Amino acid sequence: MKKINAAIVGASGYTGIELIKILINHPNFNLSYAGTSEGGVKISDLHPSLLHVVDIDVKKSDAREIAKTCELAFLALPHKTAMEFAKELLNLGVKVVDLSADYRLSLENYEKHYGVHLDKEHLKNAVYGLPELNREKIKKASLVANPGCYPTASILAIAPFAPYIKKETPIFIDAKSGVSGRGKKITESEHFVNVNENFLTYNALKHRHEPEIAEILTLHGIANNIHFVPHLLPITRGMLVSAYIQVNTEIDAFKVLTSFYKDEQFVRIRENTVSLKLTAGTNFCDIFAIQKDDIVFVSSSIDNLLRGASAQAVVNANLMFGFEESAGIPKVSYVP
């Protein structure tokens, strides 16, 4: 079968390299274009770990060049920049999986939290790319908004409890992420000495993933107030979300989860606990829940760069092009 040519726009960052790593071993996509804002280097100059592994040229990103050879583009760009490329690529007939926040929210919500939207046209038809909730829509989409990492882990953990959740009680999400979630930027906050042997909260009750979680959960029947606090873990990759919800009735939390996800190959329900090591390197979302009285504690673990970004993006692309959902998607964790 002929492979589909795919482009990565924004190949230098962490989600960029993860996309590269997946696409070079993908049975149906062919990585034929890698772009950055500068261009003019080899992939192994950007990512020395890929020396003697992949050696295509990195170009200065150009939508028209992409459209000449590619049917699909992954945008691993900051928000705002992403929508400029998306708009042009879509108009040129290229399907897009956008890893930024630009197409995840309703217009109203977007402009409240991120500022003016420059591509209202395509925003209308963008599909939120959480396959477990939106699979059929994704299959037909030209533009998929790949979910944020915190929203992916949070929504997958909480959504199954929709029928049981007490509507008046707020939902509290205490989330923890490794440092790769902050990207490659270098400020005091990413200095090894400041992160190592440390742990802290940031953007408590103010993080922009909170409205994303709330909006998507509302669409799936959970309109409770959501209170979200992220923390920074002294590790490179991995994300664990701990959520606290109140329910109306006695339930068997484990059964609720296994039943909800019984046909899903990238969600695993754990009987004891979840831990980051078991998902690092994979597209799995592991979930554990326990109930005491009317309180359910539910915890999910993902690899923030894979299930929280690049691997989920390729799952979405697989669906958009009618390939097997798991084609090329990593399932084997980095353990030990």
Window 48-87: residues binding a copy of itself (CB under 8 A): 48-53
Contact 237, 182 (CB under 8 A): no
Residue 229 is a binding residue for a copy of itself (CB under 8 A): yes
CA distance 38 to 196: 32
- Smallest CA-to-CA distance from 290 within 324, 335, 223, 245 is with 245
Residue 24 is a binding residue for a copy of itself (CB under 8 A): yes
Q: How many residues touch a copy of itself (CB under 8 A)?
A: 80
The residue with tokens 């690529």 is 89
Shortest Cβ distance from residue 248 to a copy of itself (Å)?
15
Shortest Cβ distance from residue 149 to a copy of itself (Å)?
14
Kindly give the interhelix angle for 131-140 and 311-320, rounded to the nearest 10 degrees. Answer: 40
Strands 285-292 and 226-232: unpaired
Shortest Cβ distance from residue 95 to a copy of itself (Å)?
25
Residue 233 is a binding residue for a copy of itself (CB under 8 A): yes
Residue 8 is a binding residue for a copy of itself (CB under 8 A): no
CA distance 7 to 205: 36
Residue 107 is a binding residue for a copy of itself (CB under 8 A): no
70 has catalytic annotation: no
Count CB atoms within 10 A of the CB of residue 53. 13
Q: Which DSSP helix (H) or strand (E) runs through 290? A: strand 285-292
Considering only 258, 297, 321, 327, the residue that binds a copy of itself (CB under 8 A) is 297
| Number of residues that this document lists for the chain | 336
Q: Which of residues 141-170 bind a copy of itself (CB under 8 A)?
A: 169-170
Q: Which range of residues in 27-35, 131-139, 140-148, 197-205 is near a copy of itself by CB under 8 A?
A: 197-205
Residue 174 is a binding residue for a copy of itself (CB under 8 A): yes
CA distance 333 to 336: 8
Considering only 1, 187, 262, 322, the residue that binds a copy of itself (CB under 8 A) is 187
What is the three-class DSSP state of 225?
A: coil
Q: Which of residues 208-227 bind a copy of itself (CB under 8 A)?
A: 225, 227
Shortest Cβ distance from residue 61 to a copy of itself (Å)?
21
Active site residues: 149
